[in-house]
């Protein structure tokens, strides 16, 4: 009888531990899903930022090329490269980079 009581206590204790572990597993599953979703959103954001960077880089190259072509055909040459100022636009802004030339 005494042995049965000890075994019943042990069964009760193991059932409680089992319930606690199931609750932890459920909580971890929810957290894992949230983190996976957040990771997917961040990956998408990074890809969009990379595309925006590529577009801005291409726009910058095109503007530099146009500037060089303009300088090559212009009768007045720039005296130094420091007379050309470039303004970066924020990566959050979708407008192309602005280029301003100062003629002396």
Give the integer Cα–Cα distance in Å for 24 and 26.
5
Residue 91 lies in a domain: no
Residue 45 lies in a domain: yes
Which of the 8 DSSP states describes residue 81? Answer: G
Number of domains in the chain: 1
Residue 13 lies in a domain: yes
Give the integer Cα–Cα distance in Å for 58 and 42.
24
Residue 100 lies in a domain: no
Which of the residues in the chain have pLDDT under 70?
A: 75-104
pLDDT score for 79:
53
Give the integer Cα–Cα distance in Å for 69 and 74.
8
The tokens 């212009």 sit on which residue? 74
Residue 94 lies in a domain: no
Residue 36, domain extent: 1-70
Residue 20 lies in a domain: yes
Q: Which pTM value belongs to this model?
A: 0.52
Residue 33 lies in a domain: yes
pLDDT score for 77:
53
Residue 24 lies in a domain: yes
**Strand runs (DSSP E) across 3-59, as ranges?**
none
């Amino acid at each position: 009888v005494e042995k049965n009581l000890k075994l019943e206590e042990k069964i009760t204790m193991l059932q409680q531990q089992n319930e606690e572990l199931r609750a932890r597993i459920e909580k971890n599953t929810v957290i894992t899903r949230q983190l996976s979703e957040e990771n997917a959103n961040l990956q998408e954001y990074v890809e969009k930022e990379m595309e925006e960077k590529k577009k801005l880089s291409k726009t910058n190259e095109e503007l530099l090329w146009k500037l060089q072509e303009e300088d090559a055909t212009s009768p007045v040459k720039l005296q130094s490269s420091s007379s050309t100022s470039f303004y970066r636009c924020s990566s959050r802004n979708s407008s192309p980079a602005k280029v301003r030339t100062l003629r002396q």
